[in-house]
Structure 1
């Protein structure tokens, strides 16, 4: 018999697989339950809706950016600002690359998009969270004297995360080619460029 944890994990795995292959708009809870080997009623024991399930897929099955940002805001650690920014950029690029194919179909269905936004508000999450967290980390570095006192941390955070999202969008676009530059090189170059503008 499946334990509650394994059932929940099977549901998340099935949801990610279906959302990635046929898109969020076309994925139903009935299909997810079937793919997870459980009843739809069992799915609803863990997740109130498809929208809530999608948020958990983003948070638990894709490259994790949030925990790193919270950790760095609390304690930047021994690495340099450039090293921290490179790791943030690497994870952000991988997250956006993984999430774009799943989330793209949201924009084709205004009702689904509205429900998704409502669910993110209810769960206290959304695309502004990493932006705010990165800006908070940069403010902590500014307070520590490792970033210029006049640095606009909101703009720097938007530049870094925006570049990561743009990279994922361009290369996931129909007819787009996979990036020639490996993600590690991209992240390091982006970190150097952002730091050139705000570094102490």
Structure 2
């Protein structure tokens, strides 16, 4: 049952990320997942419920790397690893990243509850960790929320604007060397801004 449910969510992700909620039909989801429409409705009551299921699963996966930031983590190493994992997620889940972006651009009509509860709770908790690092002199002065927003924006750009990157550089996240180059540069840009300045 779990395998079939995941097959439906995988098929829906592929379609929703290309055509959006309103441009995708239940019939297309069922056909792509290899199940009947009746069978799909056994697992989900509506297309909107499938969509929320896709986004909720995505949000959980998307937040996994953030959960790893703990108070006893070395902040520079921990944030550097967070950046690396976020770019890797953009590489391995580009459709998921684009769908999440599309939902946000539309005002998060079906995901707002998740954003205001589970996402807010996690981000607020990690903001406290970052504040504690700053107070202990392990990081330069930085607003935790703006740091997190900046990491999200820079790392997800590689999935959400892949066509732009390809047009400008004729490469992208399919190229292992480009992934390493992108990771190193984003880490340098962000981490150099976080280091404690001597005498500052």
TM tier relative to shorter chain: 0.5 to 0.7
> Which one of 102, 105, 129 corresponds to residue 119 of structure 2?
129
Q: Contact 2:55/2:111 (CA < 8 Å) preserved in 1? A: no
| Alpha-carbon distance in structure 2 between the residues aligned to 1:94 and 1:40 | 34
Matched, 1:165 2:156: yes
Provide closer, same or farther for how the CA distance between residues 61 and 105 of structure 1 changes in structure 2, counting only shifts above 3 A. closer
1:35-184 to structure 2, matched below 5 A, reads 35-58=32-55, 60=57, 64-72=61-69, 75-76=70-71, 78=73, 80-96=74-90, 98=94, 99-102=96-99, 113=106, 117-122=108-113, 124-125=114-115, 129=119, 132=123, 135-148=127-140, 150-173=141-164, 176=167, 177-179=170-172, 182-184=178-180
TM-score if structure 1 supplies the norm length? 0.68
Q: Which runs of 5+ in 1 are unaligned?
A: none
> Which one of 2, 5, 14 corresponds to residue 2 of structure 2?
5
| Alpha-carbon distance in structure 2 between the residues aligned to 1:52 and 1:90 | 32
Q: Which runs of 5+ in 2 are unaligned?
A: none
Provide, for residues 89-137 of structure 1, a one-character-per-residue CA deviation record: whole Å limited to 9, x for no partner.
2333344561355467769xx9xx46xx232023x138x9389366455
| Alpha-carbon distance in structure 1 between the residues aligned to 2:89 and 2:193 | 25
Q: Paired residues, what number?
A: 184
Provide closer, same or farther for how the CA distance between residues 100 and 65 of structure 1 changes in structure 2, counting only shifts above 3 A. closer
Q: Contact 1:52/1:119 (CA < 8 Å) preserved in 2? A: no
TM-score if structure 2 supplies the norm length? 0.68
